[in-house]
């Protein structure tokens, strides 16, 4: 993962956390542990233990990590294999939408947090992603179909997950809740940007024959973005909802 791309998001999240000394932290659905390693960098002397879990270890292999970071395979759709009152801080980004029983996961996060522990869940609101380009209907279709088409590794999918997170947690009455939105805005369509990478991911829709978008539509979508870049009108915008809960 290109950490530079996430620098401003990591900074915004880090400003919401006030870790105690000897903090024990977890990242649920950590993938390649980029965020866990970024927190370790942001709070170099505070963290005693940082545990990343994911349903698969396929991204762990290329990660260079050492104590206090540990990575484990764990399915967050089930009861979490952690003791009560273990963590000062639980983090999860773009994983909640894959979990069918969100109430169970929320009560599990509450259980594993220490008293006054903090949870931060960051979720892109996929249906609010915006590109500028000539063909409005086609661009809207590409964004929408990608947002609502379930990929094989997902147990569940909700393209409105960003805007829904606050309600999921707040109605549980287990946390003192607040929410912020961090919006990524880009004006260059080039490799390594969020907008470019997402446009490549959208190609999955035709490559896997999902029926949601055909190759001709995908090619025209990409041409629209390239033309917008050439004529100086390219914009990409992606809102990350940052839910913060303090254990009650």
Ligand X SMILES: C[S@@+](CC[C@H](N)C(=O)[O-])C[C@H]1O[C@@H](n2cnc3c(N)ncnc32)[C@H](O)[C@@H]1O
Alpha helices in 116-179 (DSSP H): 136-148, 161-170
Rounded-to-integer distance, Cα 113 and Cα 95, Å: 18
- Work out which of 10, 19, 69, 93 binds ligand X, going by CB under 6 A: 93
Q: Is position 124 an interface residue for ligand X (rule: CB under 6 A)?
A: no
The rounded distance, in Å, linking the Cα atoms of 54 and 115 is 25
Q: In this complex, which beta carbon is closest to ligand X, that of residue 4 or of residue 153?
A: 153
Stretch of 54-62, 157-165, 178-186, 194-202 lying at the interface with ligand X (CB under 6 A): 54-62
Distance of CA 162 to the CA centre of its chain: 9
Tokens 């147990």 sit at which residue?
A: 155
CA distance 91 to 173: 19
Nearer to ligand X, 54 or 108 (CB): 54
Q: Tell whether residue 2 is a contact of ligand X (CB under 6 A).
A: no
Binding status of residue 29 toward ligand X by CB under 6 A: yes
Name the minimum Å distance from CB 221 to ligand X: 21
In the complex, what is the shortest distance from the CB of residue 15 to ligand X, in angstroms, rounded to a whole number?
18
Cα gap 8→31, rounded to integer Å: 20
54 makes contact with ligand X (CB under 6 A) = yes
Stretch near ligand X under the rule CB under 6 A, chosen from 75-83, 139-147, 157-165, 169-177 = 75-83
Other CB atoms within 10 Å distance of the CB of residue 105: 22
Q: Which segments of 57-174 are extended strands (E)?
A: 69-73, 87-93, 113-124, 130-131
| Residue 57 contacts residue 32 (beta carbons within 8 Å) | no
Part of the chain binding ligand X (CB under 6 A), chosen from 90-98, 137-145, 200-208, 232-240: 90-98
Least separation in angstroms between residue 180's CB and ligand X is 17
- The single residue among 17, 23, 31, 88 that binds ligand X, judged by CB under 6 A, is 31
DSSP β-ladder status, 236-247 and 87-93 = unpaired
40 or 224: CB nearest ligand X: 40
By the criterion CB under 6 A, which residues form the site for ligand X?
29-31, 34, 54-56, 75-77, 93-95, 98-99, 153, 155
């Amino acid at each position: 993962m290109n950490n530079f791309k996430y620098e401003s998001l990591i900074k915004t999240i880090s400003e919401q956390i006030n870790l105690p000394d000897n903090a024990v932290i977890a990242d649920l659905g950590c993938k390649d542990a980029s965020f866990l390693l970024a927190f370790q960098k942001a709070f170099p002397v505070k963290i005693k233990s940082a545990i990343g879990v994911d349903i698969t270890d396929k991204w762990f292999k290329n990660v260079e990590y050492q104590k206090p970071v540990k990575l484990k395979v764990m399915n967050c759709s089930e009861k979490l294999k952690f003791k009560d009152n273990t963590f000062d801080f639980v983090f999860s980004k773009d994983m909640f939408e894959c979990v069918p029983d969100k109430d169970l996961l929320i009560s599990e996060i509450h259980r594993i947090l220490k008293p006054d522990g903090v949870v931060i869940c960051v979720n892109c609101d996929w249906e609010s992603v915006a590109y500028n380009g000539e063909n409005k209907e086609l661009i809207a279709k590409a964004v929408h179909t990608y947002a609502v088409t379930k990929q094989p590794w997902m147990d569940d999918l909700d393209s409105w997950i960003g805007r829904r997170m606050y309600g999921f947690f707040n109605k549980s009455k287990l946390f003192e809740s607040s929410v912020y939105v961090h919006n990524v805005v880009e004006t260059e369509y080039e490799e390594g940007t969020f907008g470019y990478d997402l446009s490549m991911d959208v190609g999955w829709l035709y490559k896997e024959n999902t029926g949601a978008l055909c190759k001709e539509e995908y090619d025209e979508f990409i041409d629209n973005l390239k033309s917008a870049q050439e004529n100086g009108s390219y914009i990409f915008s992606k809102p990350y909802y940052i839910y913060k809960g303090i254990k009650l």
